[in-house]
Amino acid sequence: MKIGIGCDHGGVVLKGAVIEAITEVGHDYYDYGTFGQESVDYPDYAEKVCKAIINGEINKGILICGTGIGISIAANKFKGIRCAHVTDEFQAQMSAEHNDANMIALGGRVSDEISTKAMVKRFLETEFAGGRHKNRVDKILRIEEKNFN
């Protein structure tokens, strides 16, 4: 699979662990920035990776900001994106198995390198269970179509 990575300055240090995990699982990674410690705005990097998924350039994405919160909120504004903000391996697994998440968001000021690698691997190695979970994801898609305001 092709895995996109996007982060702000709060996630740039943890990105190394994400890259290690992706390559150890045997996937290719595509880094959409940011690349330095200079302060940037996390929605810009969420947008780059979400558009790459929507355009079919990549299959899944890993986002990182300071907490994982802002960048996940931004990502979930894009049609077709299901981004789960996760802080442990179980959540990472469930996001793929039950929610068919195509992205996870991590906190560079929340998670350490060991748990980050475990979360990324679990997310990438877990298949969507389908069945009743598909019905629920389909309902999310229908909400997205209606775009209530």
Binding of ligand RB5 by 6 (CB under 6 A): no
Shortest reach from residue 28's CB to ligand RB5, in Å? 26
- For residue 126, cis peptide bond before it (omega within 30 degrees of 0): no
- Contacts of ligand RB5 in 29-88 (CB under 6 A): 42, 65-67, 69-70
**Contact of 65 with 10, CB cutoff 8 Å:** yes
Spatial separation of the C-alpha atoms in residues 146 and 144, rounded to whole Å: 6
- Tell me how far apart the alpha carbons of residues 40 and 25 are, in angstroms, rounded to a whole number: 30
Which element (helix H / strand E) includes 5? strand 2-7
- CA-to-CA distance for 113 and 73, rounded, in angstroms? 23
Tell me how far, at minimum, the Cβ of 111 lies from ligand RB5, in Å.
12
Shortest distance, CB of residue 38 to ligand RB5, whole angstroms? 12
Q: The tokens of 7 are what?
A: 């982060």
Residue ranges in 7-26 that form contacts with ligand RB5 under rule CB under 6 A = 8, 10
Q: Total number of residues binding ligand RB5 (CB under 6 A)?
A: 8
Residues 82-141 binding ligand RB5 (CB under 6 A) are none
Q: Which CB sits closer to ligand RB5, 54 or 69? A: 69
Catalytic residue numbers read 65, 98
Q: Which residues sit at the interface with ligand RB5, rule CB under 6 A?
A: 8, 10, 42, 65-67, 69-70
